[in-house]
Structure 1
């Protein structure tokens, strides 16, 4: 069931990408990869909770690869598919060998940057806005609204400092 939901969401996102890509062309903002660092964890977020004023995220850390690094890892792990396709599909590759969930506390002043989400309850309102800042309250609402697209199907880059998430960046996937 989870695979069907993921597939359906990815198909909707792909279709919306075709529809909304024209709006992204000619804007000052373009997709840029999130820089890797020792304090950044990339993960799929399974839940987000506010417990007694403390926001926590349960997430499954993954390995995220883009560009040449994605091609290399794809070639290492899926040689036959690499030979057939010539590289990683859509220029990214995810490795998730350990699906253990980790709990992260979110700093009350954490910054959140979204790429795509349901802005107004309509498919037309699902637009790509690169690195659109949203408040933590809005982020919680976005994550808990899966009527048109399930935001838990996107990876997120979590910047962690002093044991707390200080920045959440949604990773767009075509």
Structure 2
């Protein structure tokens, strides 16, 4: 199901006009503070805390993506990851992540105007926690839940959440 939804999102994105720059290709370095997730839900608690329900995934780029793709897919007709990245679900299930009060939320692309055909990339656009929650909880066909997010943690809380652009 996720693959079908992701494919639909990619098809919609293919209709949009984009800049040729890919801010995410080759610059992601996995460290002990940053992990990659699909975000399923965002809740604001009565006490103001933001709780994020998410599922960890493994994100690979470049040669590492190609190697992981060949290992898992084992398709003699396709030997490289599409578009230079490859995503693997960990099977660990969903967890709840608390966002720090001063967490940074950075988006690459979303429906800013209410007209999907006007959407364009703005690399690492900083948005408020409230805007992030409303974008993720939108009922639009083009769901931001279909994108992976690199989440950086400090003292057990999310301090930086960065949407990953999918070409």
* TM-score, with length taken from structure 1: 0.86
CA distance in 1 between partners of 2:163 and 2:28 (Å): 9
CA distance in 2 between partners of 1:7 and 1:97 (Å): 20
**Structure 2 residue aligned with 1:56:** 51
1:43-99 deviation per Cα after TM superposition (whole angstroms, max 9, x unaligned): 00000000121100000000000111100101111222xx31231111111111405
Match of 1:41 among 27, 35, 45: 35
- The count of corresponding residues between Structure 1 and Structure 2 is 164
Considering only aligned residues, what root-mean-square deviation do their CA atoms show, in Å?
1.8
CA distance in 1 between partners of 2:109 and 2:32 (Å): 26
Deviates more, 1:157-166 or 1:89-98: 89-98
Please report how far the alpha carbon of residue 135 of structure 1 lies from its aligned counterpart in structure 2 after TM superposition.
1.0
Runs of 4+ in 1 over 4 A off after TM superposition: 1-4
Structure 2: which 5+ residue stretches go unaligned?
A: none
Q: How does 1:48-127 map to 2 (within 5 A)?
A: 48-52=42-46, 53-80=48-75, 83-127=76-120
**Structure 1 residue aligned with 2:151:** 158
Q: Does structure 2 retain, via aligned residues, the 8 Å contact 1:115–1:171?
A: yes
The structure with the largest helix share of the pair is 1
Where 2:124 maps in the other structure, the secondary structure is strand
